[in-house]
Structure 1
Amino acid sequence: VQVLPSFQHYEPQAVAVIGPDSTQLALTTAAVLSLFLVPEISYEASTESLSLKRLYPSFLRTIPSDRQQVKAIFLLLQHFGWTWVVLLGSDNIYGRAGLDALQELLTASNVCVAYRGTIPDNSDASNPELHNLVRILTDIKVNVTVVFSTRGSVMPFFEVVVQRNITDMVWVASEDWSLAQAIGQVPGIQTIGSVFGMAVEKPESSMLERFEAWKMSEEGAVAECASSAEAGRESVGNVRLGCTRRCAGCRALAAVPDMYDAQGSFNVYSAVYAVAHGLHDLLGCASGACSKGTVYPWQLLQKIRQVNFTLYNSRISFDANGDIHKGYDIVMWKWLGPNWAADVIGTFRVNPDRLSIDPGKILWHTEDGQAPSSVCSKACEPGEMRLQQSRHKCCFSCVTCPPGTFLNTSDPSECQACGLDEWAPAGSEVCFNRTVVFLSWSKPLSWALLALAVLLMLLIAALAVLFALNASTPVVKSAGGKMCFLMLGSLACTCSSLFCYFGEPSQAACLLRVPLFAISFTVFLSCVATRSFQILCIFKLNARCPALYEAWMRRQGPVLFVAASTAAQVALCVVTEAASPSVPRREYGARDEWVVLECTQSAAADAAIAYTVLLSAGCFVLSYAGTDLPAAYNEAKSLTVSLLLHLGCSAAVLCSQGALRGQAETVARVLSTLGTLAALLGGYFVPRAFVILLRPHQNTAEHFQMAIQEYTRR
């Protein structure tokens, strides 16, 4: 080839090349012709690398790029949910490049490649590499195999597949061998399972009919060509092909078996028409007369890239990479007895990429007639995360998400924690808002408890009024006289502390609830203790140690004891609350679905309750010691029972702290306090009110004197 200073001046005998029919050859011719910008339109070379214009600027093709074929195969796998597949390719550029592109696409998706292998080139069924390859297929137990190979390499492979009796598998064929009749005629191949294939978009039926008629005509022309070559060339050129130019030679294309099928012929047909349209435009033939000037290849290349015409309802145009805008038909092999056929069961179209499958046309090899599955691990149930077991992301075990977490569908391999104010049961895909729990004022249970508290306070008020009206009577004096009003007042304060348990906890309610109860209840218990001690001194200790009682009374013992006991409780509450104040908080650990609004259990509460329990035990001992006192002064039995009930309620609340949480715990504390108040009122004050109201004859000095005399005569 003469080297010229610029590619623009080359005048080759051929200004365009149609072909060749294989990727291997096209890579060579495209590299050479691109140096001179000679247009080359291939009808069979589909490898993706030929689309690189910086390497092959003058290459175009009327067959889709393998990039589109790879997309079609990928969408087919996704359509049937096949995520565990084997990839096999021929040992040439077509097979290797196709598998590289397909594996790249699968790796970025949810489809895993269990094994990738290479089918040896130029081998036969006795090749040990083929037998080893088929053995691997049986060992890895995969139901779907993609074979991206040339037809020449794949035929001995399927002969071995039939020999090794591999059945019940799905095979996905690349475009090069999906319609190869020679492979469909391999003995016993109908037992291998279901075979899907990619086939370039089928041309219009009228084109197929014309091709069949031409093929029959070619077969009849073979004899004529042999007897009279020159006459035959003229006859074929003028009569059969209808050309305006006589061919220099004659060749019987129909004699080449299974090479130029209808689809391949249409690709050649399209390439010839593309060159013709380019020349037509370059020579200005639209004006009615074509120019006779020199045609340079680079000029024709520009025109061919711009062609856009319709040929038998197929749009012929090229994109920036020189690729034609064409899709694929999805075919499936079917046998009617010994007869083989490939039926179109779906389509793949480009711009945008879309796959459509007609399930009614599919005949599966399975016993139930359903699509077989091909997965490494079954899909996890909702709320189960994937625990990876190997390098393949499709192989995993399923683990239920623990409570408090949920499985986000965007990341199935990790359970995500719910927010602080949210919860989720085990195996959840969403989080739920926690229920805010506290003893609301508006709940019926709260109304019942508040009604009991109000009734107790009304009872306390009524007792105070009754005792005030009968303050000078022996019954009131024996109960403590003026100290009774202090005792009733302290019980009223104790009852008022219950209102701090209702509603959403506040700072003030948390600070007051325990100290108000503890201090006021300490006042009551101190009064009970002093009163019981005084009675014991009068009837039992006075005779033995008269100075003790006199000193007790002279030094204001009752007042000092009540004041000191109460002051100790106040100091205890103040110090502990200052050190560890009780504040509102949101407790998330009670139950998964709850947010409990409560007050923190400070050290003040524990210390104050312990102090009242200790004081209650002292009162119980003193009251029990006076069981043999005169009946008018002896309330030991009823008071002992009341104090026992109080101690029992306190123990019950203490024991239920771990078992009861939230609203139930608050209700238990309120009921405990109500029970204690009711028991103390019923054991100490109500019997005296009963005497004042219903037995006035026992509320006299004579009655009390008689009771004392009876006690002294014992």
Structure 2
Amino acid sequence: MIFATQEIQRDPKLLPNITLGYVIYDSCSTIAGVLEGTMRLLTGQRKATPNYQCHAFSSAVAVIGDTYSSTSIPMARLLGLYKFPQISYAATVKVLSDKNQFPSFLRTIPSGLYQSIGIAHLVLHFGWIWVGILSDSNDYGLQGSLIVKEEIVKAGACIAFLETIPTVYSEKKSEHISEIIRKSSANVIVIFSIDTDLYPIMEVIARNNVSGKVWVASDDWAQSSLFTKKDFLKTLQGTLGFVVRRGDISGFNEFIYSLSPYTNPDDLFLKIFWEIVFDCKLQILDTNRTIESTICKGDETLEGMKMDFFKLNDLRNTYNVYNAIYAVAHALHDMISCRHGEGPFDNSTCTMMHNFEPWQLFYYIKNAHFRNKNGEEVFFDMHGDPPVHFGIINWQVTPENTFRYLEVGHFKSSAADNETLTVDIPAILWNEDHGKIPRSLCSESCSAGYRKAPQTGQPVCCFSCVMCFQGEISNQTDSIECVKCPKDGWPNERHDKCVKKETEFLSYEETLGMVLTTASIFSAMATAVTLIIFLKYHHTPVVKANNRELSYLLLFSLMSCFLCSLIFIGRPTHVTCMLRQGAFGIIFTLSISCVLAKTIVVVIAFNASKPDSSLRKYTGQGLPKSIVILCTTLQVIICISLLIVSPPFQDENTTSVMGRILIECNEGSPVAFWCMLSYMGLLAIVSLLVAFLSRKLPDSFNEAKFITFSMVVFVSVWMSFIPAYLSTQGKYMVAVEIFAILSSAAGLLLCIFVPKCYIILFRPRMNTRDYLMGKGVFMNEKRLR
């Protein structure tokens, strides 16, 4: 302050013909001390008298100070009543920016709000999401720590603990705080406190050998000389501190080195300082007494001495004082430069230098805007705060077992968004337990393929990792939820990406499809051979017996049944889906109708042989044809209705089988489909009953018994088909239906036609009219036996 005042006096352009003076009050860092000094300054008397001012003794127009927020607040409340300008160089508490409470308060140090925001950004920049907070119990600590907490939580991180340093020192509370920090899994501790309050707590922490933590320091203790003892080296190594910006003051080093009590005998502070630094007693003639003990030789000099007290290469709060003095000087300059009629007060008047009030000077100070000798802009915003610029320092242990404070970054709120926080990470030396950036997590990160599951009663940063469910993936770490794969996709084994599902249908290329295809073609060929045999021996009694035309039609329908199963094999299409069930239903109904007609013909033929039987008129070819046409027509109607009302269509089933897409036919209306099968089953049961009742009737080659066997096989197959069909999916469902078609049709072919073919080919003697009528040699042989 003294250096800046003298420098301004030597500037012929800034305040010509004006002399600046100063009065120094020591607040002793107490509220009582600061209030007493403020009242004495306002009244101009040694004994303060409220609301009274002695102009003869008080010519102060601005106050520079105080250092701490706790003492600046009551001081600002009192000075605000008179709109007396106050510029603090170190008070950072956020509430001082409230112009309703503190209308005349300004500062050259940024508000603690921005320091808190900057600290939160620093914590998040390193990915620390599990953080402990320790704060002072005054406004500075409580408000600063609260803002840090809000910013950290807003970004999705969590607070492991929030402890407050008691106003009155307590050994029990100190041990409690030390134990919480030691046991906590949080490796990062943010401390908002002044150095004098933190010191006893940190002593306990160091004594308990708490190490491995990263301390983030607020500006009030970030460079404090209280923690330079060797006891703190292991504990505080790697600390990151937020400090006000550093600035250079040209000529200030020379000014300090030129100080001497011999050339400044009235400077009481310098006398005490000199005796402490050089460990000697001064002998200076005083009006009251003479100091007889002389140790100081008079040739002592400050230059070349290592004094952390001055920190001449690291001027921070000193630089703020320098700017505060120049802000007052520029305000005075603007005031005396006012032109008549262009003033800011009533009637555009200007203020006279020899007669102005402090509140009038305050107007010029708050609107001051200038560049200092370093080229930096100095001004106050609407809240009385300067531009935000903080430095970030790293506490590094030197070979001499002391701390050095290396600046490793900065925080500027006025910079572009991507330049707000800058940190030189390689320049940082962490605590000895950390060779790289330490981690501070409540729970380990969840890898891709997992999601975070919150733990009951714990913050969101404490979670368990749960693998994504079937059909879901997460492709990044710490996913809150998994996402479903698209319909044609499926998670891989790690559940971190979707892979395309395999399509499944009964193809001709696979073994099952080849077997069924071969069986269908072979059965159809066997049926064709049987039909050829019947056509070749069409004149024989075995072929003629029991309606030759029905046998031809039945063989043709059976051959069609075998071939229609091929429609079920291969990739389903809309056309094949519409054809296959209808073709299957109609062709099988035709086969069963033929069997039913054959059975009814046997019954009618037996009963018509009785005298005076009324059934003789039904013994012709008309009845069996009518039965076949009627039964088949009803099924045709059902199938056509099915195609019209709810036609089957090709469908991609993505849900039934995990990891596969079933290409299948959706049968449309299940009711219509089962109606078709039910009708076919009804005909089969009727045929079975009629054949069973007529199995012992005299018949050529006992065809009624063979029909009974065939229908037992047919009904058994389709009764087994229903549960098997309903319990399978995809290509196996299709295979079950094909198997039922082939086996039931084969049952009809084997039971009805194989015995006849055996007689035709291997027992031609039985294929005669005499044998058919029960006469001839075969009959005689039977009688002889």
**Inter-partner Cα distance in structure 2 for 1:613 and 1:14:** 120
Q: Is the CA contact 1:44–1:63 (under 8 Å) kept in the aligned structure 2?
A: yes
Q: Is the CA contact 2:187–2:214 (under 8 Å) kept in the aligned structure 1?
A: yes
Equivalent residues in 2 for 1:5-44 (5 A)? Answer: 13-44=59-90
Q: Does 1:272 align with 2:338?
A: no
| Consecutive unaligned residues in structure 2, runs of 5 or more | 1-41, 44-57, 272-301, 340-350
Q: Is the CA contact 2:451–2:478 (under 8 Å) kept in the aligned structure 1?
A: no
**Inter-partner Cα distance in structure 2 for 1:296 and 1:499:** 109
Determine the structure 2 residue equivalent to 1:246.
none
Correspondent of 1:338 among 377, 384, 401: 401
Deviation at 1:93, TM superposition (A): 1.2
Determine the structure 1 residue equivalent to 2:118.
72
Change (3 A) 1:216 1:524: same
**Inter-partner Cα distance in structure 2 for 1:348 and 1:623:** 104
Q: Is the CA contact 2:394–2:428 (under 8 Å) kept in the aligned structure 1?
A: yes
Q: Is the CA contact 1:424–1:592 (under 8 Å) kept in the aligned structure 2?
A: no
Change (3 A) 1:262 1:550: same
Deviation at 1:627, TM superposition (A): 13
Determine the structure 2 residue equivalent to 1:372.
438
Change (3 A) 1:257 1:481: closer
**Inter-partner Cα distance in structure 1 for 2:642 and 2:586:** 18
Deviation at 1:494, TM superposition (A): 4.5
Determine the structure 1 residue equivalent to 2:257.
216
Query: Which amino acid is the alignment partner of residue 422 of structure 2?
Result: S
Determine the structure 2 residue equivalent to 1:325.
387
Q: Is the CA contact 2:233–2:402 (under 8 Å) kept in the aligned structure 1?
A: no
CA RMSD of the aligned region, Å?
Answer: 5.3
Deviation at 1:198, TM superposition (A): 1.0
Q: Is the CA contact 2:442–2:462 (under 8 Å) kept in the aligned structure 1?
A: yes
**Inter-partner Cα distance in structure 2 for 1:491 and 1:484:** 10
Determine the structure 1 residue equivalent to 2:130.
84
**Inter-partner Cα distance in structure 1 for 2:635 and 2:525:** 31
Equivalent residues in 2 for 1:238-249 (5 A)? Answer: none
Identity %: 26
**Inter-partner Cα distance in structure 2 for 1:604 and 1:416:** 42
Correspondent of 2:675 among 587, 599, 604: 604
Deviation at 1:267, TM superposition (A): 1.1
Correspondent of 2:222 among 178, 193, 197: 178
Report Cα offsets for 1:133-191 as digits up to 9, x if no partner.
22333344432211100111111111111222222222111111011122222634424
Determine the structure 1 residue equivalent to 2:46.
none
**Inter-partner Cα distance in structure 2 for 1:410 and 1:369:** 24
Determine the structure 2 residue equivalent to 1:96.
142
**Inter-partner Cα distance in structure 2 for 1:104 and 1:445:** 66
Determine the structure 2 residue equivalent to 1:120.
166
**Inter-partner Cα distance in structure 2 for 1:657 and 1:154:** 79
**Inter-partner Cα distance in structure 1 for 2:459 and 2:368:** 46
Deviation at 1:41, TM superposition (A): 2.2
Q: Is the CA contact 1:627–1:636 (under 8 Å) kept in the aligned structure 2?
A: no
Determine the structure 1 residue equivalent to 2:93.
47
**Inter-partner Cα distance in structure 2 for 1:146 and 1:438:** 63
Determine the structure 2 residue equivalent to 1:355.
421
Query: Which amino acid is the alignment partner of residue 284 of structure 1?
Result: S
Change (3 A) 1:608 1:440: farther
Query: Which amino acid is the alignment partner of residue 214 of structure 1?
Result: F
Change (3 A) 1:163 1:225: same
Change (3 A) 1:560 1:294: farther
Determine the structure 2 residue equivalent to 1:386.
453
Determine the structure 2 residue equivalent to 1:517.
584
**Inter-partner Cα distance in structure 1 for 2:559 and 2:413:** 86
Determine the structure 1 residue equivalent to 2:738.
670
Query: Which amino acid is the alignment partner of residue 219 of structure 2?
Result: E
**Inter-partner Cα distance in structure 1 for 2:611 and 2:501:** 63
Q: Is the CA contact 2:408–2:428 (under 8 Å) kept in the aligned structure 1?
A: yes
**Inter-partner Cα distance in structure 2 for 1:504 and 1:303:** 88
Deviation at 1:131, TM superposition (A): 2.3
Deviation at 1:98, TM superposition (A): 0.5
Change (3 A) 1:53 1:698: farther
Report Cα offsets for 1:322-364 as digits up to 9, x if no partner.
2222322222212224222122233323234532333322333
Q: Is the CA contact 1:598–1:662 (under 8 Å) kept in the aligned structure 2?
A: no
Equivalent pairs counted in the alignment come to 666
Determine the structure 1 residue equivalent to 2:276.
none
TM-score (norm 1): 0.75
Moved more, 332-341 or 559-568: 559-568
Q: Is the CA contact 2:133–2:163 (under 8 Å) kept in the aligned structure 1?
A: yes
Q: Is the CA contact 1:168–1:194 (under 8 Å) kept in the aligned structure 2?
A: no
Deviation at 1:691, TM superposition (A): 9.3
**Inter-partner Cα distance in structure 1 for 2:390 and 2:504:** 63
Equivalent residues in 2 for 1:303-702 (5 A)? Answer: 303-304=364-365, 305-336=367-398, 337-351=400-414, 352=416, 354-367=420-433, 369-382=435-448, 383-405=450-472, 413=480, 428=495, 471-474=538-541, 476-478=543-545, 480-488=547-555, 490-491=557-558, 494=561, 514=581, 517-528=584-595, 531=598, 547=610, 554-556=617-619, 584=648, 589-593=655-659, 594=661, 597-599=665-667, 600-602=669-671, 603-605=674-676, 607-608=678-679, 610-611=681-682, 614=685, 650=718, 653-674=721-742, 676-677=744-745, 680-681=748-749, 701=768
Change (3 A) 1:19 1:227: closer
Q: Does 1:132 align with 2:176?
A: yes
| Consecutive unaligned residues in structure 1, runs of 5 or more | 3-11, 233-251
Report Cα offsets for 1:43-92 as digits up to 9, x if no partner.
10111112223333433222121122112211222123222222111121
Moved more, 107-116 or 97-106: 107-116
Report Cα offsets for 1:218-247 as digits up to 9, x if no partner.
3xx234323799xx9xxxxxxxxxxxxxxx
Query: Which amino acid is the alignment partner of residue 265 of structure 1?
Result: T
Q: Is the CA contact 1:87–1:113 (under 8 Å) kept in the aligned structure 2?
A: yes
